[in-house]
Amino acid sequence: MHYPWWYVPFVTSPMLIAAVATIHIFVAMYAVGGGMFLAVETQFAHRTQNRPYLGYLRDHAWFFILLTVVFGAITGVGIWWTIGLASPLATEALIHIFVFGWAMEYVFFVLEIASAFLFFYFWDRLPAKTHTIFGYIYAVSAWISLVLITSITAFMLNPGGWVEAPSFWVAFFNPEFIPQTIARTGGALLLASLYVYLHAALRQEQDPELRALIAKRSTRPGLLGAFLVTIGGVWWFLALPESARAALAAASALNILMLLIFAVTLVVFGMLYLGPYRNPGWITPGFAILLFTFGLAAIGTGEFLREAVRKPYIIYGVVMSNQIYPDEIPGLRQTGYLEGGTWTRRYIAERFPQAVNAQGEIDEGALLALSPDERTEVGELLFLYHCNDCHSVEGYAAVSESMRGWTPEMILALVKEPHRARFFMPPFAGTADEAQLLADYLVTIARPFPAGLVNGSSN
């Protein structure tokens, strides 16, 4: 509303955030857990002077750098890039609240990259002790990065007392912070195991002793990780705001996903324990790929769920999912959404100057007097700015499909009070006339009642 709305047909622009974030998280968590694994295992290999194992770890560190420093780092920046485009008001708010959180994370990010490069490129030149310290500098920096970023994502789900007492630390130590940190740390350890196991399996190490060692030791972080994911997940659920829990309970798909996370985590735990931990000889590419896929499924589903339960907010209690501050809604219902929106007001002033009065305000009566095509255009403007955050016309969460067969009266009733029909939708932030204009537009795109179904009429 205060910013132009980026129109991405079929998928909606916020779905691009989901796409970038999901692929990022698969690597970012490994960047943390894998760093911890490398630090601990390098220390172990130095202490036991196990040269073959050190050789393997060096090989793995190269794979780790290629994946995390390039793909992980760039997709991380990519999330930031995308949220500014697809969710500008929420990004503006988060940047103002957490600028020093991000700035601190930047310091640790620099340390991560420097220590990762030095750890790998000076592998044979550094004394064992210094080499190990470098590994730990990386691991600790990466974990603190995770903690700092988790505080921001956790804040988005439950800002706790920040709304009443806005301060950085209240925002930072929000009710979801510790559970999400535990769950994500667990996820990082779990993924580390799966990546190491996959890498080792595909490398097809011939030395049976080394293969067994890699299989056994790579399993440990994963077993701990699965435990932490479970603890953090349960705590995460308990710390959810009431409406988020209600959203979870109301949507059967989300229920299934939540069960799926725990089930898959359990399966991964079992496979890790019975497979590489108890029977290290099982290390095969097929088994590793299966485990890896399960792990990604659990992590990806968790992230999707975390996003989905936040509706109707993008930052809980702070910014609505359609880029409006909650306290703006009563005013907008009086003065009008088109009038209150920077870009919508400009659009009406340029396209329909006859609908702007001498004081420069939008005259809604004049909008209703526009031709049917022009009214549809204003309705589309309202749809794009008010609804397109979550709904496409044709494609993802398409309104043309979800309103299939609806009568104009049903559509108008929903538009006026969307939060009554679905409590996880934001209230309509416009006047009754604007609701009519939006409903008129939706009527033009709603598909007809499917043929061949009984609709209760005699025909």
Partner 1 sequence: MLPPFLGPLNPLGYPAPYWFILFFKVLGFTLHISLMNLWFAGLITMLLLRWRGGAHAQRLSDRFINALPFVIAFGINLGIVPLLFTQVAYYQVFYPATILAAWPWFAVVPLLMVAYYGIYLYVIGLRKGTMNALKRAAGWVSAAIFMLLGFVFSNSFSLMTNVAGWGPLWNATSQTGAPYGIGLNLGDPTLAPRLLMMFGLALTTTAAYVVVDTAFFAGGESGEYKRWAIRCALIVSTLGNAWVAVMGSWYFFAALPGEIRGAQLQVPMLVLTLLTAAGTGLPWLLMLMSQRGLTRRLGLLTGLAQLGALGLHAISRQTVQNLELAPYLQIGAEPVHIQWSPLLLFLVLFVGGIGLLVWMVVQVVKAVRLPVVP
Query: Which parts of 294-353 interact with partner 1 (CB under 8 A)?
Result: 342-347, 349-350
The interface with partner 1 within residues 14-43 (CB under 8 A) comprises 16, 20
What's the closest the beta carbon of residue 295 comes to partner 1, in angstroms?
Answer: 23
Say if residues 256 and 289 touch (Cβ distance below 8 Å): no
Stretch that binds partner 1, among 28-36, 102-110, 178-186, 448-456 (CB under 8 A): 102-110
State which of positions 375-434 bind partner 1 (CB under 8 A).
Answer: 377, 380-381, 384-385, 388
Binding to partner 1 (CB under 8 A) within 120-139 occurs at 122, 124-127, 130, 134, 137
- Say how far apart CA 426 and CA 15 lie, in whole Å: 18
Residue for token pair 């750098």? 65
> Which 3 state secondary structure label does DSSP give 319?
strand
Q: Would you give the DSSP letter of residue 356? A: B
User: Taking Cα atoms as reference points, which of 193, 191, 215 lies closest to residue 298?
Assistant: 191
- Counting residues that bind partner 1 (by CB under 8 A) gives 76
In the complex with partner 1, the residue whose CB is nearer, 39 or 381, is: 381
Nearer to partner 1, 168 or 227 (CB): 168
288 contributes a contact to partner 1 by CB under 8 A: no
Burial class (CB in 10 A: 0-12, 13-18, 19+), 342: exposed
85/14 Cα distance (integer angstroms):
9
What is the nearest approach in angstroms of partner 1 to the Cβ of residue 91? 7
The single residue among 22, 115, 193, 392 that binds partner 1, judged by CB under 8 A, is 115
Stretch that binds partner 1, among 51-59, 103-111, 222-230, 293-301 (CB under 8 A): 103-111
Contact 211, 261 (CB under 8 A): no
Label residue 208 exposed, middle or buried (CB < 10 Å: 0-12, 13-18, 19+): exposed
Q: Quick one: which of 40, 93, 257, 267 contacts partner 1 (CB under 8 A)?
A: 93
Angle of helix 51-65 relative to helix 208-238, nearest 10 degrees?
50
Q: Which of residues 169-198 bind partner 1 (CB under 8 A)?
A: 169
CA distance 181 to 177: 6
Question: Which residues ranging from 357 to 376 are in contact with partner 1 (CB under 8 A)?
Answer: 360
Contact window for partner 1 (CB under 8 A) among 31-39, 106-114, 219-227, 260-268: 106-114
Least distance in angstroms from the C-beta of 390 to partner 1: 14
- The span of 63-71, 222-230, 294-302, 363-371 binding partner 1 (CB under 8 A) equals 63-71
Using rule CB under 8 A, residue 443 touches partner 1: no
Coil, strand or helix: which one is 432?
helix
Q: Does 102 bind partner 1 (CB under 8 A)?
A: yes
Q: Does 163 bind partner 1 (CB under 8 A)?
A: no
> Smallest distance from the beta carbon of 13 to partner 1, in angstroms?
8
Nearest approach in angstroms of CB 113 to partner 1 is: 5
Q: Is 155 in the site for partner 1 (CB under 8 A)?
A: no
Q: How far, CA to CA in Å, does 170 sit from each of 46, 176, 244, 321?
A: 43, 12, 20, 22
Tokens of 319: 């910014």
* Alpha helix stretches (DSSP H) within 126-277: 128-157, 168-172, 177-203, 208-238, 242-250, 252-272
Judged by CB, which is closer to partner 1: 167, or 354?
167
Q: Which amino acid is at 380?
A: E
Output b/e per residue, 232-260; b: 16+ Cβ within 10 A.
bbebbeebbbebbeebbeebeebeebbee
3 binds partner 1 (CB under 8 A): yes
> How far is 321 from 332, CA to CA, in rounded Å?
16
The answer to whether 111 contacts partner 1 (rule: CB under 8 A) is: yes
Q: Considering beta carbons, is residue 344 or 431 the nearer one to partner 1? A: 344
Chain CA centroid to CA 31, Å = 17
**DSSP bridge pairs for 319:** 315
Q: Which C-beta is closer to partner 1: that of 27 or that of 190? A: 27
Q: Which of 394, 355, 345 is nearest to 375 (CA)?
A: 355
When the beta carbons of 67 and 290 are compared against partner 1, the nearer one is 67
- Piece of 167-175, 233-241, 281-289, 309-317 that binds partner 1 (CB under 8 A): 167-175
Q: Which of 40, 69, 260, 368 binds partner 1 (CB under 8 A)?
A: 69
Any contact of residue 287 with partner 1 (CB under 8 A)? no
